[in-house]
């Protein structure tokens, strides 16, 4: 069994195979619906189920996405003029910390969602839930592409299994709810990997039409692509580079892969692809035009000057550059449902003899291993669970799709009911999403005992602020008196609280004459003995209580519940995921006046 095609891309394909992409299409549509109806971070759409709360980085991405869309609307193609490019990308309002493509995608969907299903925004220039639709569509498209590729290579069962496997990975499903770059990065990464396989390999002729025939050893007629195909590969890589830094892995991965299989004959197409990639990257990011050498150095050297983040792993706090080498491997194995890992292991075992010889097999496996190897290297910063190496997960879904047929053969050989068993296996993989809703980023699989077991083992169960959800904020507002000051911990950047107040209608509506107002401030040494402070909030001069503390339980930076209790705090309300507290509200007696 190998990751080779079992039928040609020719007109001789059976009708069953021709209609095979219908299965992945249905899975993709169902995935899109499931995500879109659960996007609400905090009462923007109160009639729909709640989604993850506003996370730490979303405001930067949405703000820049809307800025780029508005700039294109104002300048049109004139933005390509050097003076116009300077006005847009040299403006202090523009933040070049990431390339523009992913943020532009979010900005476009922000405008589409605002036009199709607007929510009240007050005087806000953007609303996070509108941009979240961009990630939802990117994830659904990735699910379809993975499934369609598997159908064409290995049959309809593999295609549906690959699509389902990707759709029900809780960490991916969770990020599809967020206006962040991870999901669109996953899309461009997947398109590049699958597109390269398609452009660099051609199938041999075969009369095989049976989904179950995975040992037919259909020969692959492979060869380096012509210039046109090489240019298209370079375009795909360039678009991935215009999305996020993880794409820097693609050129070395594809270079090693191509030289391994085609030796020196791969040199010309790689050179053409590399030149195209460079042109697409530079042309597609006008900020680079303003100072090409300086800005290239600034962007690719930015990781060395960034602020270090703390990581909670196996019960210890590490700096992000000091995390043990096994962190990405362990986090991958504990954040993907066990059934999918089992299917992927079966697929990998079935393809073991062909990994080095078959281009399709080697690139899919390489797309999984390369990100994990990169983030295992000493001195490379890694943090926030599996977020930085989520690009490895589509390859695992493809291996699962390939493995399902091997498992089916094993079941049939023993005269067991293969279809019911496989159907039940796939259906049970969605349990993780249901059990952790809406805190999908807190998911851990049954191998470590779920979220509760992961907490006992010392894994981070909430890292990005998503636990400040609609339910938690509602409980907070109900629990504190009017005009209460609530301290928040941890606060990881200066705009965090302002964006929560601006983007959460439950808090923002307090600005109206009849609404209640809750003030959020960064916690000032919450574990220290209480000391009365003089506080000025707006123009108010009345006595304002400040004895409340809201915590999202990022253990790397937040005080533990035990330490808070020892410091005199009393638990008022808590939000849990599988019995584990992911956000909490505390109270401590104090007497504070404002002036």
What pLDDT, in 10s, does the model give residues 260-279? Answer: 999 999 999 999 999 999 99
Question: Phi/psi of residue 424, each to 5°?
Answer: -65, -40
Integer angstrom CA distances of residue 582 from 435, 452, 457, 550, 573:
14, 11, 16, 11, 11
Number of Cα atoms under 13 Å in the Cβ half of residue 181:
27
The DSSP secondary structure of 380-420, one letter per residue, reads: ----TTTGGGGGGHHHHHHHHHHHHHHHHHHHHHTT--HHH
- Asked whether residue 67 carries a pLDDT value surpassing 60, the answer given is yes
Q: How does pLDDT run across 373-403, given as a tens digit for each residue?
A: 999 999 999 999 999 999 999 999 999 999 9
- The residue-averaged pLDDT of 277-304 equals 93
- The residue-averaged pLDDT of 207-214 equals 40
Between these two residues, 219 and 287, which has the higher pLDDT value?
287
Q: Please give, one letter per residue, the 3-state secondary structure of 335-371.
A: HCCHHHHHHHHHHHHHCHHHCCCCHHHHHHHHHHHHH
Q: Specify the length of the chain in residues.
A: 595
- Asked whether residue 130 carries a pLDDT value surpassing 80, the answer given is yes
Q: How does pLDDT run across 21-58, given as a tens digit for each residue?
A: 999 999 999 999 999 999 999 888 999 999 999 999 99
3-state helix, strand, coil in the chain (%, to 5): 55, 10, 35
Show the tokens assigned to 103. 């943020």
- The reply to whether omega before 160 is within 30° of 0 (cis) is no
pLDDT band, residue 545 (cuts 50/70/90): low
Q: What is the DSSP letter of 594?
A: B
pLDDT for the residue numbered 526: 84
Other C-beta atoms within 10 Å of 593: how many?
13
Within 37-126, residue ranges assigned H as helices are: 58-75, 82-89, 101-116
Q: What is the pTM of this model?
A: 0.92
- The residue-averaged pLDDT of 323-338 equals 98
pLDDT band, residue 13 (cuts 50/70/90): very low
Q: Could you give the percent of the chain with pLDDT greater than 70? A: 87
* C-alpha closest to that of 199 among 163, 162, 219, 227: 227
- Could you tell me if 151 and 20 are in contact, meaning their C-beta atoms sit under 8 angstroms apart? yes
Q: Mention every residue, 6+ apart, whose C-beta is less than 8 A from residue 448.
A: 334, 454, 457, 459
Whole-angstrom distance, CA of residue 7 vs CA of residue 492:
53
Number of Cα atoms under 13 Å in the Cβ half of residue 300:
12
* C-alpha closest to that of 488 among 553, 576, 568, 575: 553
- Asked whether residue 9 carries a pLDDT value surpassing 70, the answer given is no
Whole-angstrom distance, CA of residue 86 vs CA of residue 589:
54
Between these two residues, 211 and 177, which has the higher pLDDT value?
177
* C-alpha closest to that of 467 among 557, 581, 583, 386: 583
Question: Phi/psi of residue 283, each to 5°?
Answer: -65, -35
Q: Could you give the percent of the chain with pLDDT greater than 90? A: 76
Question: Phi/psi of residue 439, each to 5°?
Answer: -100, 60
Q: What is the DSSP letter of 6?
A: S
pLDDT for the residue numbered 15: 37
pLDDT for the residue numbered 338: 98
Beta bridge partners of 430: none
Among 215-224, 230-239, 274-283, 357-366, name the one with the lowest average pLDDT: 215-224
- Asked whether residue 552 carries a pLDDT value surpassing 70, the answer given is yes
pLDDT for the residue numbered 141: 98
Whole-angstrom distance, CA of residue 355 vs CA of residue 276:
29
pLDDT for the residue numbered 209: 39
Mean confidence (pLDDT) of the chain: 89
Taking phi over 0 as left and psi of -120 to 50 as alpha, with beta for the rest, 314 belongs to left
Query: Among 111-120, 193-202, 402-411, 437-446, which range has the highest average pLDDT?
Result: 437-446
pLDDT for the residue numbered 507: 83
Vertex 501 angle, CA 498 and 503, to 5°: 100
Q: How does pLDDT run across 519-531, given as a tens digit for each residue?
A: 899 998 887 766 5
pLDDT for the residue numbered 595: 36
- Asked whether residue 573 carries a pLDDT value surpassing 80, the answer given is yes
- Asked whether residue 553 carries a pLDDT value surpassing 70, the answer given is yes
């Amino acid at each position: 069994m190998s990751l080779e095609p079992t039928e040609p891309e020719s007109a001789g394909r059976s009708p069953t195979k021709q209609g095979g992409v219908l299965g992945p299409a249905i899975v993709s549509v169902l995935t899109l619906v499931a995500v879109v109806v659960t996007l609400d971070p905090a009462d923007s759409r109160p009639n729909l189920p709640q989604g993850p709360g506003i996370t730490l980085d979303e405001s930067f991405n949405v703000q820049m996405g809307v800025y780029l869309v508005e700039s294109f609307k104002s300048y049109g193609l004139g933005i390509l003029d050097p003076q116009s490019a300077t006005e847009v990308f040299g403006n202090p309002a523009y933040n070049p910390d990431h390339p523009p493509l992913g943020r532009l995608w979010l900005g476009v969907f922000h405008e589409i969602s605002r036009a199709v299903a607007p929510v009240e925004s007050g005087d806000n220039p953007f609303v996070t839930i509108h941009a979240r639709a961009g990630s939802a569509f990117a994830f659904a498209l990735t699910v379809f592409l993975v499934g369609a590729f598997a159908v064409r290579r290995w049959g309809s069962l593999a295609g549906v299994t690959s699509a389902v496997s990707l759709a029900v990975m809780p960490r991916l499903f969770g990020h599809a709810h967020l206006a962040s770059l991870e999901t669109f990065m996953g899309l461009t990464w997947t398109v590049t990997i699958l597109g390269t396989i398609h452009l660099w390999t051609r199938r041999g002729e075969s009369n095989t039409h049976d989904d179950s025939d995975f040992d037919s050893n259909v020969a692959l007629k492979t060869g380096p692509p012509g210039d046109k195909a090489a240019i298209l590969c370079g375009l795909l890589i360039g678009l991935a580079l215009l999305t996020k830094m993880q794409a820097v892995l693609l050129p070395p991965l594809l270079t090693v892969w191509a030289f391994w299989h085609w030796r020196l004959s791969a040199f010309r197409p790689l050179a053409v692809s590399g030149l195209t990639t460079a042109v697409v990257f530079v042309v597609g990011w006008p900020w680079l035009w303003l100072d090409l050498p300086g800005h290239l150095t600034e962007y690719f050297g930015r990781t060395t000057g960034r602020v270090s983040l703390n990581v909670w792993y196996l019960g210890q706090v590490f700096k992000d550059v000091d995390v043990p080498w096994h962190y990405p491997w362990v986090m991958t194995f504990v954040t993907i449902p066990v059934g999918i890992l089992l299917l992927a292991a079966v697929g990998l075992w079935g393809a073991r003899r062909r990994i080095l010889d078959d281009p399709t097999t080697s690139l899919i496996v390489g797309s999984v291993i390369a990100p994990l190897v990169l983030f295992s290297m000493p001195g490379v910063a890694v943090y926030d669970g599996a977020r930085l190496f989520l690009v490895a997960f589509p390859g695992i879904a493809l291996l699962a799709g390939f493995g399902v047929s091997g498992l089916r053969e094993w079941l049939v050989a023993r005269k067991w009911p293969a279809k019911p068993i496989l159907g039940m296996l796939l259906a049970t993989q969605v349990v993780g999403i249901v059990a952790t809703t809406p805190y999908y980023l807190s998911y851990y699989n049954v191998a470590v005992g779920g979220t509760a077991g992961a907490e006992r083992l010392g894994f981070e169960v909430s890292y990005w602020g998503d636990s400040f959800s609609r339910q938690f904020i509602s409980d907070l507002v109900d629990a504190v008196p009017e005009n209460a000051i609530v301290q928040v911990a941890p606060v990881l950047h200066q705009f965090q609280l302002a964006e929560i107040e601006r983007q959460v209608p439950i808090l923002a509506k307090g600005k109206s004459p009849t609404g209640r107002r809750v003030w959020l401030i960064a916690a000032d040494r919450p574990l220290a003995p209480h000391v009365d402070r003089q506080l000025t909030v707006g123009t108010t001069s009345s006595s304002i209580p400040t004895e409340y503390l809201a915590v999202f339980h990022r253990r790397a930076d937040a005080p533990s519940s035990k330490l808070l209790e020892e410091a005199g705090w009393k638990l008022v309300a808590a939000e849990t995921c599988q019995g584990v507290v992911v956000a909490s509200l505390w109270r401590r007696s104090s007497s504070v006046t404002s002036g």
